[in-house]
């Protein structure tokens, strides 16, 4: 089963994708994570995208389509979760072609519906484990007072360079200008379903499970 998790920054795409990886052996393909890895590795491409990402702008279609192309023909376990991709119509068309080439198909595009008002506190309170990527929130799911990640015992708590109010506003602007039209695109294709992303993490997990279990 191959799915897209679609929603604005802070909708909970990464949180839900990690749960699906654990529970269903699915493979998370997050273009945001891939770009951050490139940035941290100091590669030429990583350096080019670093300032674009920190500002909250979208990276070029060519770069992200190239990143997905590298992964999509490989092992897909219980299926791919496309997290943060596609974000433009060009990326959506490219994904369609890439899946066809590999004789794979898309099963669901799950839109995570949230209020913009909730996103500021979700994003400005977010941190994650620098070793395993587990996601935390200062208020709703704080980094343990022991200083150790409960999943992997690392003591490296990290915050993203674009997790501030100014970048978030730009990321939201990019979402509404370039990405939100994909909701109509996938609705017309018959792949679209939506879940309430404002519910608790566990409730959202259940809603997604209901979609996937039919
Ligand atoms: P990317 O890394 O994809 O970030 P994003 O889409 O902005 O989404 P986030 O990761 O910020 O949010 P999320 O929905 O995963 O929320 P999370 O689960 O962490 O992209 C970053 C940048 O890379 C882009 O701006 C762009 O520059 C570039 N890029 C990436 N892909 C690209 C592409 N395809 N094309 C072009 N450029 C691209 O949750 C957020 C917080 O809320 C956490 O603290 C979490 O604990 C909490 N939370 C989650 N769910 C709940 C809940 N149900 N209730 C309460 N709290 C919750």
pLDDT above 90 for 75? no
pTM for the whole structure: 0.96
Per-residue pLDDT tens digits for 182-213: 999 999 999 999 999 999 999 999 999 999 99
Active site residue 122: no
pLDDT reported for residue 57: 97
CA–CA distance, 143 with 154 (Å, rounded to integer): 11
Q: Compute the distance between CA of residue 73 and CA of residue 51 in angstroms, rounded to an integer.
A: 30
Name the β-bridge partners of 127: 136
Given pLDDT bands bounded at 50, 70 and 90, which one contains residue 131? very high
Q: What pairs with residue 136 in β-bridges?
A: 127
- The active-site residue, picked from 71, 104, 160, 169, is 160
Please provide the average confidence, as pLDDT, over all residues in the chain. Answer: 96
Give the pLDDT band (50/70/90) at residue 76: confident
Tell how far the Cα of 36 is from the centroid of ligand 1, in angstroms.
12
Give me ligand 1 centre to Cα 209, in Å.
Answer: 20
Number of H helices, E strands in the chain: 9, 8
Question: What integer pLDDT is reported at residue 77 of this predicted model?
Answer: 84
Residue (of 159, 179, 161, 176) closest to 55 by Cα position: 161
Q: Residue 74 pLDDT > 90, yes or no? A: no
Question: What was the pLDDT predicted at 104?
Answer: 92
* 117-126 pLDDT, tens digit each: 999 999 999 9
Rounded to whole angstroms, the Cα distance separating 91 from 95 reads: 6
* Nearest CA among 1, 2, 14 for reference residue 160: 14
């Amino acid at each position: 089963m191959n799915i897209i998790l679609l929603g604005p920054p802070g909708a909970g795409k990464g949180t839900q994708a990690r749960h699906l990886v654990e529970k269903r052996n699915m493979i998370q393909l997050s273009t945001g994570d891939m770009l951050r890895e490139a940035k941290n590795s100091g590669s030429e491409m990583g350096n080019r995208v670093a300032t674009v990402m920190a500002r909250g702008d979208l990276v070029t279609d060519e770069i992200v389509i190239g990143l997905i192309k590298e992964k999509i023909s490989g092992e897909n376990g219980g299926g791919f979760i496309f997290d943060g991709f596609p974000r433009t119509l060009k990326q959506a068309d490219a994904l369609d072609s890439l899946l066809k080439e590999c004789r794979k198909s898309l099963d669901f595009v799950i839109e995570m519906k949230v209020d913009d008002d909730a996103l500021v506190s979700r994003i400005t309170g977010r941190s994650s484990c620098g070793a395993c990527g587990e996601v935390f929130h200062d208020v709703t799911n704080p980094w343990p007072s022991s200083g150790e990640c409960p999943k992997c015992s690392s003591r490296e708590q990290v915050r993203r360079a674009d997790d501030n109010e100014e970048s978030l506003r730009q990321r939201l602007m990019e979402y509404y200008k370039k990405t939100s039209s994909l909701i109509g695109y996938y609705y017309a294709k018959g792949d679209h379903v939506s879940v309430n992303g404002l519910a608790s993490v566990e409730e959202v997990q259940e809603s997604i499970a209901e979609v996937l279990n039919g």
